[in-house]
Amino acid sequence: MDIDELGDEIPYLLSLLRSYLAIIDKQLSDQRPFWVGDSASLADMELYAQLWTARSFVPAAEAIFSQFFYLTQWAERVRQIGHGESTTITRDDAISIAKHGKSSGEKRVDPLDPLGLSAGDVVEVIPTDYGCVPVKGKLVTLTMREVAVERKDPDAGTVVVHFPRFGFKIARSQA
């Protein structure tokens, strides 16, 4: 997103951001440690990611955030959770893990899903935000939370690739 291209919309968008932050601050005013209770949840992580993005890339956002005491305190608690520990591995190691690993995810297709897909259907999973490069494969899993497709990789062989439902479009492949 190019903030400079928003031009005359910036005051409106900042006003809207301020209104949303006021709602969140009010929800946190009972001084619970996290958004839905005593421990951090996916809701906290999702909300924090959105707010971190705004604070990092919208120049006026920090001044707006500082107006909300409970929100600021909550954000600091979530920030202190950290990012976990990562381990750097080589490309060859990653391919070896994929080649010799087994998919441990749930393997079922929700018969009530409005897409009307079945296990084994050839589908494309496409990011909806950026880098809209589809991943094509046979449908293995389709639940309210996850989609997984089996595909053949030239280096790793047959692999199952898992995606969250949010942020991805799933469509029957035309070819």
The predicted-structure confidence for 65-118, as pLDDT tens digits, reads as follows: 999 999 999 999 999 998 888 899 999 999 999 888 887 777 899 999 999 999
Class of domain 3-81: mainly alpha
Q: Would the pLDDT of 1 be above 60? A: no
103-172: CATH topology is Glutaredoxin (3.40.30)
Q: How confident is the model at residue 122 (pLDDT cuts 50, 70, 90)?
A: very high
**Distance of alpha carbon 58 from alpha carbon 38, whole angstroms:** 30
Q: Would the pLDDT of 38 be above 60? A: yes
Q: Would the pLDDT of 17 be above 80? A: yes
3-state secondary structure of 49: helix
On whether the pTM is more than 0.85, the answer is: no
Instruction: Give domain limits for the chain.
Output: 3-81, 103-172
